[in-house]
Amino acid sequence: MTAIHQQPSRGLTPLLVPVLIGGLVMLALGVYGRAHTPTGFAVGVAGFSAALPMKVWLTTGAFVLAIVQVVSAMSMWGKLGVTIPPGVHRWSGRLAFILTIPVAFHCLYALGLQYDVPRVLAHSLLGCFFYGLFTAKMLALPKQGTPGWTLPVLGGLSFTVLVGLWLTSSFWFFTAVGLKV
């Protein structure tokens, strides 16, 4: 009788904690954004004429870096035929995330979660979803036993949500108001 070697199951169990914590982050941001009384004034817009242009340009920077993330991830997974150093992926992701922090802080602190205008509601919900998703992705990164599709799916979703955030904010601003700094 020959023993058959089976690989351990790569079920969804290792994703349970990262997804639950990401969900809690998303929920906490939404609840805070809704329950907190918005201040209505900007926080730290150094170098910009106002808060809205600051948010628009920082989000655009994060959007461009997210494109670098997709291209470098495709390179890491061998989909481009070109090798991009892994540091490019790590640092573009770090910088993109850092650019989103003042934007999110201002949105939550000065504006709160708004639901009066469909575009703004979509933007508010996408923002909460982005940080919950990003949390889940970062917590899933070092986990052993996660399914092979985990990082491509969570990374792809993060990119898609960031594109949605950019479309409902920066793209809207550029087309409705213009290119202001």
- Average pLDDT for runs of 10 along the chain of length 181: 43 87 96 87 75 90 95 89 88 94 89 87 94 94 83 92 94 84 57
How many other CB atoms are found less than 10 A from the CB of residue 95?
16
CA dihedral (71, 76, 78, 83) in degrees, to 10, reads 80
Q: Residues 58, 99: contact at Cβ < 8 Å?
A: yes
Residue 144 CA to residue 31 CA, distance in Å, equals: 32
Q: What is the pLDDT, as a whole number, of residue 79?
A: 87
Q: Residues 38, 112: contact at Cβ < 8 Å?
A: yes
DSSP category for residue 170: I
Q: What is the pLDDT, as a whole number, of residue 115?
A: 83
Residue 20 CA to residue 158 CA, distance in Å, equals: 16
Q: What is the pLDDT, as a whole number, of residue 70?
A: 93
Residue 129 CA to residue 111 CA, distance in Å, equals: 17
Direct distance between the N- and C-terminal alpha carbons of the chain, in angstroms, rounded to an integer = 74
Residue 15 CA to residue 12 CA, distance in Å, equals: 5
Residue 62 CA to residue 38 CA, distance in Å, equals: 25
Q: What is the pLDDT, as a whole number, of residue 163?
A: 95
Its pTM stands at 0.85
Q: What is the pLDDT, as a whole number, of residue 1?
A: 42
Residue 59 CA to residue 107 CA, distance in Å, equals: 12
Q: What is the pLDDT, as a whole number, of residue 181?
A: 57
Q: What is the pLDDT, as a whole number, of residue 124?
A: 92
